[in-house]
Amino acid sequence: MCADLSTQIPSGRAVRVAASLLRACGGTTAYLQVPPLTGDQNDAGQLGIDQPNLQLLPLSPVIFHKMRTEYLLPNQPQRYELRISAEAVAAQVSQQQLASASALFGMASGVVVAGRLFTIEAASSFEDQGEVYLYRLLLRDAASNWPLQNPQAGPQN
């Protein structure tokens, strides 16, 4: 039986199902590390002497897991996969007043999951009836980890 998909109106059902499945499968919170919208205006910040002042944007629910080693080439660093609810990404895109999720992922310097910093290698999305319901980030360990602070604890003195 064939169906004419051009007459179906996206209902948001896939977005809600994806978010529910991520929560039910042990979803956690990841944090995108992005530069602040206003730059560091002091002299030390302009010269790059200050430690980077980065915002941590929460994304939840997400599922994080290690990729299977048979998909890796010899001597290739371990890779990880992060699946993110489209609702969470849309909320951050709106809050940061960006045009798209690609812009959000493009400006991110990394992703923090369970206190570890990862670098984004690739981003892709899954769609149903032209509506994105899930994002997939391919990650690897960051070459150097900055001292990270717990986002719930607030700034350290």
**Does any domain span residue 11?**
no
* Residue 156 pLDDT: 46
For residues 2 and 35, the answer to whether their CB atoms sit within 8 Å is no
**Does any domain span residue 154?**
no
Query: Residue 27: which pLDDT band, with cuts at 50, 70 and 90?
Result: confident
pLDDT in tens, 56-112: 999 999 999 888 777 667 777 788 999 999 999 999 999 999 999 999 999 998 999
- Residue bearing the bigger pLDDT, 131 or 37: 131
Residue 131 token pair = 């509506």
* Residues spanned by the domain of 40: 28-69+78-141
**Does any domain span residue 9?**
no
Query: With 0-12 CB in 10 A as exposed, 13-18 as middle and 19+ as buried, what is 118?
Result: buried
**Does any domain span residue 109?**
yes
**Does any domain span residue 36?**
yes
**Does any domain span residue 43?**
yes
Say how many domains are in the chain: 1
**Long-range contacts, 36-42 (Cβ 8 Å, 24+):** 37/96
